[in-house]
Amino acid sequence: LAQSPAPGAVPALAGRLVVEDDPGVREAILTALVRIGTGEAAAALLPLLDREDAGLRNAVLESVQQMPAAAAAPAVLPLLDHPDSDLRIFAVQLLGAMSHPDRLGWLSGVVERDAHVNVCLAAAEALAETGDPAALPSLERLALRFPGDPMVGFSVDAARRRFQGG
C-alpha cells in the first residue's frame, strides 16, 4: 500500500498544481490533496476556482467534494461572501454536495440573503436535492424575494413537489 502524502506537502502540491499542464500529473496532485483531506488542502484548492481553465475548475470542485465535509466546509464557507457571484455559486455547489449537519442552514441562509438570483437558484437546487422539507420555508421566502422571476417560481414549485413526494 502506498503511504499517504504528508500534510506538510500541501503548499508544494498546490504550488505545482497552479503551473502543471499535464492532465495525469494534475490528477496525481489532486489525488494526493484529497488523500491529505485537511482544511488546509481544501483551502489550497479553492483559489483555483477563479481560473479560466474549466477543466481545472471542475477537477478542483470534484476534489473538494471528495474531502471530509468537516475539513472542507470551513474553507468553503468564506466563498459565500465573495464579491464574484460565480465563486458563490461554486461554494453553494460544494456545500450542497457535502454531508454536513449544518448544510441546510448554510444553504437556507444563501437563499434568504444573497442578492444575486443565480446564486439563490443554485442554493434552491441544492436545498431541493437534500429532500428535507425543512427547507421549504426558506424557499417560499425566496419566491417572495424574486416574485417576477419565472425560474425562481419554477424552482420553488419543483422543490415543493419533491418534498411532497410528487
End-to-end CA distance of the chain: 47
Residue 3 has pLDDT above 60, yes or no: no
Last residue of a domain, one of 67, 90, 115: 67
Residue 44's pLDDT is 97
**One domain for residues 11 and 32:** yes
Last residue of a domain, one of 67, 91, 112: 67
Last residue of a domain, one of 12, 32, 67: 67
Q: What's the pLDDT tens digit per position in 5-45? A: 776 899 999 999 989 989 999 999 999 999 999 999 999 99
- Residue 58: partners with Cβ closer than 8 Å, 6 or more residues away: none
**One domain for residues 94 and 150:** yes
Contact 41, 67 (CB under 8 A): yes
**One domain for residues 53 and 84:** no
Confidence of residue 1 (pLDDT cuts 50, 70, 90): very low
Q: Which residue has the cell 425543512?
A: 134
Q: How many domains does the chain have?
A: 2
**One domain for residues 38 and 6:** yes
Q: What is the model's pTM?
A: 0.91
- Residue 1: partners with Cβ closer than 8 Å, 6 or more residues away: none
Region 73-98 average pLDDT: 97
**One domain for residues 88 and 149:** yes
**One domain for residues 149 and 80:** yes
**One domain for residues 162 and 99:** yes
Contact 11, 44 (CB under 8 A): yes
Domain interval for residue 103: 76-166
**One domain for residues 62 and 100:** no
- Residue 73: partners with Cβ closer than 8 Å, 6 or more residues away: 95, 98, 100, 102
Enclosing H/E stretch for 144: helix 136-145
